[in-house]
Structure 1
């Protein structure tokens, strides 16, 4: 885990233009630095999405339910290469055919760890077979489940603390593909203030 904290990420402006780079660890320290990320949703033939419960050792939002996989491209790395690398590391899957459905810009502070998420998040989807042979890494993933994305949004309204704070925006991009969607709350009013992903 600490090895990935030292990987470099691209710092970007709110239009996704590259401004520089820093480490994963530095980008997630308060007050946070806007950086490029990706969130993958694997979709089965019944239109269900695969959610993962993040492992307890995660430095940001451990044990929260999130999208199938997420991460950060290295500076200059393509989103599909980066996403397929993380899909292999987290879920034990070979490469999948990914398409981008939009971007979601959000800010959230983890009350448990004090880390910050401030991400220009590219939302990627892949159609996968129902009998997908998933072999999750227990250091990455505590549990998996297939769910209807509309049901996820409804459950987020009733039990938001069970989910990673970015999941609602990611699922919305899947259901309503568009460009950039902002989280709505200014940084100083964002939910889950300190007290990190």
Structure 2
């Protein structure tokens, strides 16, 4: 499945997020990396905790690091929320949810383990779900799940940054006061 995902197309973008072309996932993540559209989904429970996933060991970028509920790339021209709901189903076994965009996190990160590079125009999406909602994570995608208070996640990132995906702090920064109240 990982090899198949590397052959999927992503939408290349300029600094403002405007489409400028397309490439395969694999090509977009080879050094030096190509800027492309992505999404990061935050799932929050009614108590304000967020779902973290520990990425599977077979992931081609940042394996075994803790990240947000799920991430991915829309196909060129595909609506971001549509692609995100597909990935929620694939990674966590969760049916489509209403998702609200919180903003965009633009970042570049090099994976010291795999040599892959991320240059992403990352749409940050927030969804609500009960912590006891049934999930069936795909072991090829997810090694572990846990619900964590925002303060605990932020403290963990500060104390042990290499345990977390490099985009997670920027994704969590999109949770402003208004979106936190919505948790």
What is the CA-CA distance between 1:176 and the residue it aligns to? 5.7
Greater alpha carbon shift after TM alignment, 169-178 vs 44-53: 169-178
| TM-score, scaled relative to structure 1 | 0.88
Contact 1:102 1:177 in 2 (8 A): no
Unaligned runs of 5+ in 2: none
RMSD: 1.2
Contact 1:102 1:173 in 2 (8 A): yes
Q: Which runs of 4+ in 1 moved over 6 A?
A: none
CA deviation map 1:57-108 (0-9, x unaligned): 0000000000000000000100111000000000001001100001000000
Residues 166 and 60 of structure 1: is their aligned pair in 2 closer, same or farther, counting only changes over 3 Å? same
Q: For 1:42-191, what aligned pairs fall within 5 Å after superposition?
A: 42-175=43-176
Unaligned runs of 5+ in 1: 179-197
Contact 2:131 2:147 in 1 (8 A): no
| TM-score, scaled relative to structure 2 | 0.95
What is the aligned residue count? Answer: 178
What is the CA-CA distance between 1:174 and the residue it aligns to? 1.9
Distance 1:135 1:101 in 2: 26
Residues 176 and 32 of structure 1: is their aligned pair in 2 closer, same or farther, counting only changes over 3 Å? farther
CA deviation map 1:170-195 (0-9, x unaligned): 011123679xxxxxxxxxxxxxxxxx
Distance 1:16 1:176 in 2: 25
Distance 1:91 1:100 in 2: 20
Distance 1:105 1:80 in 2: 18
Greater alpha carbon shift after TM alignment, 28-37 vs 124-133: 124-133
What is the CA-CA distance between 1:151 and the residue it aligns to? 1.7
